[in-house]
Chain A
């Protein structure tokens, strides 16, 4: 007998979809992949809904699954890129700076990208981020400062090449 509460799941799905999809966009840089992985993570959540609905926090569980799926998808892409060193063109509906951001995130080690997304993107605290990634807080702090440098440089660089520099007096 199916003891899963469909109505509770539907409310969870509707309430969390946009947030999860946004995180997948940040980590994959591709809306189509992001959408597929979001659906896959939510599907897994439904398959285990009887267990995850009651315990702790379903969106947190789904988020961890989704982030892992996103990072696995880079690894597959990286292997493919090794054979065919061509950067995928940005999808037309992703603004250029978003593409640069996602590209920079993909160049980071997976855990560092997740740390940056959780802390700077979702506004989680350092202890919360450390708990989610199962690493000490000091590690999170050093990852954040290192990966911010890389990502900020990438975004700033792309902004400068897009528009003539504006001097404020």
Chain B
């Protein structure tokens, strides 16, 4: 009988503990937990955090007041911004192979070839099923989704060439691996973003976007069109994250003009991303 490998030993031990614990019963009903959620025990955070909190509250108050003033004036939206072009949210059409330096590059300015039918990422091809899939709350064909190799000869679209109306071929965030993404025209761009704030959700730095009324409608249109498929969040010619739209739901629901981007950011990266998204970089 062959010696079990280290991986076998560890896996067996972990799974036996997990299986045994999974049979335990929760100490309280979900209703009881929800009932006590209103009674927060307030622990005062350290003074630096308090200053940040107060600043955040002031900012929110300013934004809300500005929003209310704007609503009451009923004027068409004048958008004063300097940039924000670096940011867009787009449908992900397919995964593309890394660019092979040795390949004969396509002549500059040639339109991108289409994704092959086999590699197209659609709700149908991804086969998202809410429920199940222990770790994620849904099952899908995503892990086995094919990469379109015909793009190996196509260089990525330069950040300066990424315009809202065109289809683009872009790499992921630095350090995210070699997969590239073919993305359709933008559904949401920087002008749709009313504000971008940075939060730490329990150690994970997240950029929270609040969209303008027009942006909110555009985001819902894109998200609904891509329901159970992927959208790509693009900044400076890279795909920061490419989430599946509402994979644990059986029907689309509105995002109400809100959007969290959590793409494994450090605090500094999240802050820079928030600034770039609203065009103040």
Contact = CB atoms under 8 A, between A and B. Distances in A.
A in complex with B? yes
A135 B248 CA distance: 25
Interface stretch (A56-64, A74-82, A83-91): A56-64
B136 A43 contact: no
Interface in A38-53: 39, 42-44, 46-48, 51
A56 B204 CA distance: 15
The residue among A25, A54, A58, A98 with the most chain B CB atoms within 10 A of its own CB is A54
A120 B136 contact: no
A148 B28 CA distance: 35
B22 A22 contact: yes
Given A54-B253, A60-B137, A131 B14 contact: no
Nearest to A55: B260
A55 B255 contact: yes
A39 B27 contact: yes
A68 interface: yes
B19 interface: yes
A89 B64 CA distance: 54
Name which of A10, A131, A151, A152 has the most chain B CB atoms within 10 A of its CB.
A152
Interface residues of A, number: 68
Nearest to A11: B30
Interface size class of B (residues with CB under 8 A): 35 or more
Interface string B244-278: 10111100010100111000100000000000000
B13 A97 contact: yes
A159 to B, nearest CB: 9
A14 B248 CA distance: 15
B9 A59 contact: no
B243 A155 contact: no
Given A46-B37, A152-B6, A101 B23 contact: no
Contact of B28 (A39, A44, A60, A168): A39
A155 B27 contact: no
A44 B202 contact: yes
Given A43-B36, A120-B7, A134-B264, 4 more contacts: A6-B34, A42-B33, A128-B135, A151-B9
9 contacts: A10-B34, A21-B24, A22-B17, A59-B248, A120-B14, A121-B18, A123-B134, A127-B177, A152-B10
